[in-house]
Chain A
Amino acid sequence: MRENSLTEYELRAVRPEAETEKKTFDLRRSAFVILLAGLAVVALLSIGIGAVEISPLQALAILARQAGVEIPAAFSAQQESVLLYIRLPRVILGLAVGASLAVAGAVLQSLFRNPLADPGLIGVSSGSALAVAAAIVLGEGLSLSFLAFNKPYFLPFAAFFGGLATTMFIYRIGRQKTGANMATMLLAGIAVNAFAVAGIGLMSFLATDAQLRNIMFWNLGSLGGATWNALAVAAPLILVSVFFLLRMARPLNVILLGETEARHLGVNTERLKWQAICLVALAVGASVAAAGAIGFVGLIVPHLLRLTVGADHRFLLRNAAAAGAILVVGADVLARNALAPAEMPIGIITALAGAPFFIWLLLKKNV
């Protein structure tokens, strides 16, 4: 026995990477920059397009004046208030919601090692939707004074805690002596989702026409409720939980090998699962509370990125945040303008565009 380390063997430098590898490596690193550029374009479009048009230069001038700097570009008072009180909070909410849904979807797919996982699966979306439907239909019957007083906050409140409670319930079902069983959670999620759909159906049946419309809008999502007040509640929750989810990249990479293997590689899998599920529930709960249940973002964005820039979470998660934001802000531009002056629920756009695209992706992958 000469030495205790194997490093004496072949300490020559690692062979230079193959051509193809180098290419994907570069793409992975530059993808985030490309996505951020795309995000800036979409955000400017969203700010600019609508009943009142605002050019990027005007937008800049309006924002600069807020900061006390004058930029020589003419804008009207109407443009100023539309930008500051309608478009800007709306774009920021779209960014936050898109980022949270896509990151949450990516994390859940890896945690469950199931490509079909999305925030709906652990009950956040369906729990929120049911709580909102119940609150819309039954809440009006309850003439509690604090409800009437806090009406703007009541539905987001119901959505947030409905989603959180459902997720915790599903987690408890999946939890066994040996730890949280992901397969059981998956099945429990399906059962709870079916229950929630039935519950929403029942509420819709009981609802008046106005309530029905309200339920539908909530189920399909809309950024129409974006105000600085709504943002002040949702954005910090989303920002903090997405930040911590992004920091889980390395253990999430390891858990792709399997839970047992991850434990053998020093990952505390029980803690990771618990933390990740809590953070996802927080992020998605907050975004559903602010914008309703916007489907497909959490499913399609991570898939698209895995196929194009790889599955390494250190790149995947931040790319998903940017791409999810692009998708939601972009879909919102369409939702506002396609049938103007009427406004479509944004979930219709994401599903209409997302589903065929997803199928195309699957077909292409099989070739």
Chain B
Amino acid sequence: MFEAKNISVRIGPKKILDGVSLQLKPGEMVALIGANGAGKSTLLKALCGDVEISEGEIALENRSLKEWDCHHLARRRAVLPQHTDFSFPFTAREVALLGRNPHIRGAESKKDLEIVGNALKLVEAEHLAGRTFPTLSGGERQRVQLARVLAQIWEKPESSNRYLFLDEPTSSLDLAHQHLTLQTARRFAERETAVLMVLHDLNLAAQYADKVLILQKGRVIAFGAPKEIFVSEMIRDVFGVEAFVTRRPENGDLPLIIPVGKRAGVENGAGIENFY
């Protein structure tokens, strides 16, 4: 289990995160939702231990995150960054193989290569395996990076659970691969992986997440099942966008969100007179 209690992050006098608490259980997919600048990425970084928290506690498997050494942590938890700047001539397979680093002593085994091959297959990138990574398109790179983090936690560690943190995993993907990515995360969740993901697409969150956490100005304003969270009032409050929310009985009564695009309380095109 992964647990954050009352964590705050300050940058100078400004509180970027303010008393955020969250629990992440194996088998559960949690989506982080919020407007730009709400603190989603900061929260994810704080939960990964990449930014220092000024208050609160983060614990993984009942042990403070600070007490974990990075090697043991890496065998349990994988993090997909929003964007990776990687311009060295490695093949896609070599990049994905880097995910096996915490498991490799000396040279990689046949099993590591097999896992990497399967991970690439799972994200439909096996045909890219021999291509040089910098020559891939944005979406292809994102899938190869996903294969890398999946290869990292491919096997369930003994006496521990797996954790998968994804920062906007669908940002450069086409429609089919957006769903493929979240279905893949789902498959991991079904095998007792705790999945935490930053998402922008409310419908993807509604369809795949077990729970949705909504951040606004660094605070949690809602945390619960998508069915309860996604209502038009909330979407207006958080994003300033009018939206219809309907249910889809044919698909487990999940909410379907149709943004109308008009910003509540703001005239469309306000400020356009100053734009040349």
A interface list, Cβ under 8 A from B: 1, 3-7, 9-11, 13-15, 17-18, 20-21, 178, 250-251, 253-254, 256-258, 260-261, 263-268, 306-307, 310-312
Cβ contacts under 8 Å, B126 to chain A: 14-15
Q: How far is the CA of A4 from the CA of B192 in the complex (A)?
A: 7
- Check B86–A256 contact: CB distance below 8 A: yes
Q: Which of A17, A253, A265 has the most CB of B within 10 A?
A: A265
Q: How far is the CA of A307 from the CA of B88 in the complex (A)?
A: 9
Q: How far is the CA of A5 from the CA of B73 in the complex (A)?
A: 19
Nearest CB of chain A from residue B258's CB, rounded to whole Å: 34
Cβ contacts under 8 Å, A310 to chain B: 89-90
9-residue interface stretch from B29-37, B98-106, B216-224, B241-249: B98-106
9-residue interface stretch from B149-157, B194-202, B226-234, B264-272: B149-157
- Check A5–B191 contact: CB distance below 8 A: yes
B interface list, Cβ under 8 A from A: 27, 48, 50, 52, 69-75, 77-79, 81, 84-86, 88-91, 94-95, 98-99, 101-102, 104, 113-118, 121-122, 126, 129-130, 150, 152, 154-156, 187-188, 190-192
Cβ contacts under 8 Å, B156 to chain A: 4-5
- Check A17–B130 contact: CB distance below 8 A: yes
Closest residue of B by beta carbon distance from A264: B79
Closest residue of A by beta carbon distance from B74: A266
Q: Which of A6, A11, A267 has the most CB of B within 10 A?
A: A6
Cβ contacts under 8 Å, B91 to chain A: 21
Q: How far is the CA of A3 from the CA of B191 in the complex (A)?
A: 7
With known contacts A5-B155, A260-B50, A265–B81 Cβ distance under 8 A: no
Q: How far is the CA of A94 from the CA of B104 in the complex (A)?
A: 36
Per a CB cutoff under 8 Å, which of B70, B99, B122, B150 touches A263?
A: B70
- Check B152–A258 contact: CB distance below 8 A: no
- Check A311–B122 contact: CB distance below 8 A: no
Query: Beyond A264-B79, A265-B101, A266-B73: 10 further Cβ-contacts under 8 Å?
Result: A1-B27, A5-B154, A9-B122, A14-B126, A21-B91, A253-B94, A254-B101, A264-B70, A266-B102, A268-B70
Nearest CB of chain B from residue A208's CB, rounded to whole Å: 48
- Check A265–B122 contact: CB distance below 8 A: no
Per a CB cutoff under 8 Å, which of A15, A256, A265, A312 touches B117?
A: A15
Cβ contacts under 8 Å, A268 to chain B: 69-71
- Check B77–A264 contact: CB distance below 8 A: yes
- Check B74–A264 contact: CB distance below 8 A: yes
Task: Please list 30 pairs of residues, one from A and one from B, whose beta carbons are closer than 8 Å in the complex, sorted by A's number.
Answer: A1-B190, A4-B156, A4-B192, A5-B191, A6-B187, A6-B191, A7-B155, A10-B118, A11-B118, A14-B114, A15-B126, A15-B129, A17-B129, A18-B129, A178-B52, A251-B101, A253-B90, A253-B98, A254-B101, A257-B95, A258-B86, A263-B50, A264-B73, A264-B74, A266-B71, A266-B74, A267-B101, A268-B71, A311-B89, A312-B90
Cβ contacts under 8 Å, A11 to chain B: 114, 118
Cβ contacts under 8 Å, A10 to chain B: 118, 121-122
Closest residue of B by beta carbon distance from A268: B70
- Check B70–A9 contact: CB distance below 8 A: no
